[in-house]
Structure 1
Amino acid sequence: MTPELHSERLRFLPYRPEDEDHFVALLRDEEVCRWMGQDLVPEPEVRVLFRTILTEVYPRRLFDVWGLWHAGAYVGHAEVKKTGNVAGHELVTALVPAHWGRGLGREVVRTLLRHAAENLGLTEAYGMVGAENRASLAMCERLGFRHVRDVKGDDGTVTRMLVVPTAAAAAQEEGAGA
Structure 2
Amino acid sequence: MTSTLHTERLVLERYVLEDEEGFVALFQDTRVSRWMGDGPSSEADDRALFGRVFTMVYADDLFDVWAVRRDGRLVGHAEIKPTDVVEGYEIIYALTPEVWGFGLGRELAEALVAYGFHTLGLAEVHATVAASNRASLNVLTKVGFKHIRDITEDDGSTTLLLTRSISDRSPTDR
When normalised by structure 1's length, the TM-score is 0.92
Query: CA offsets per residue over residues 80-113 of structure 1, 9 Å max, x none?
Result: 0000111010000001011111100000010011
Aligned to 2:48: 48
CA gap 1:168/1:109 in 2 versus in 1, 3 angstroms: farther
CA–CA distance in 2 between the matches of 1:15 and 1:166?
A: 28
- Aligned partner of 1:3 in structure 2 is 3
Superposed, which structure 2 residues align to 1:15-94 within 5 Å? 15-36=15-36, 38-94=38-94
Equivalent in the alignment of 1:154: 154
Question: Whose helix fraction is larger, Structure 1's or Structure 2's?
Answer: 1
* Deviation, structure 1 residue 39: 2.4
Runs of 4+ in 1 over 4 A off after TM superposition: 171-174
SS at match of 1:113: helix
Q: After superposition, what is the alpha-carbon deviation per residue over 1:116-148, rounded to whole angstroms, capped at 9, x for unaligned?
A: 111101011000111011121122112111111
Q: Which moved more, 1:7-16 or 1:159-168?
A: 159-168
SS in 2 for 1:84: coil
Question: How many residues align structurally?
Answer: 174
What's the TM-score once normalised by structure 2's chain length? 0.94
Structure 2: which amino acid aligns with 1:161? L
Q: Aligned with 1:140: secondary structure?
A: helix
The amino acid of 2:110's aligned partner reads: R
User: What fraction of aligned residue pairs are identical, expressed as a percent?
Assistant: 44
Q: Do the aligned residues in 2 keep the contact of 1:117 with 1:167 (CA within 8 Å)?
A: no
Distance 1:70 1:173 in 2: 21
In structure 1, stretches of 5+ residues that fail to align are none
CA distance, structure 2, for counterparts of residue 166 and residue 108 of structure 1 = 17
1:173 Cα deviation from its structure 2 partner: 6.2
Aligned mates of 1:68, 1:168 — CA distance in 2: 26
**TM superposition shift of 1:168:** 4.8
State the match for 2:138 in structure 1. 138
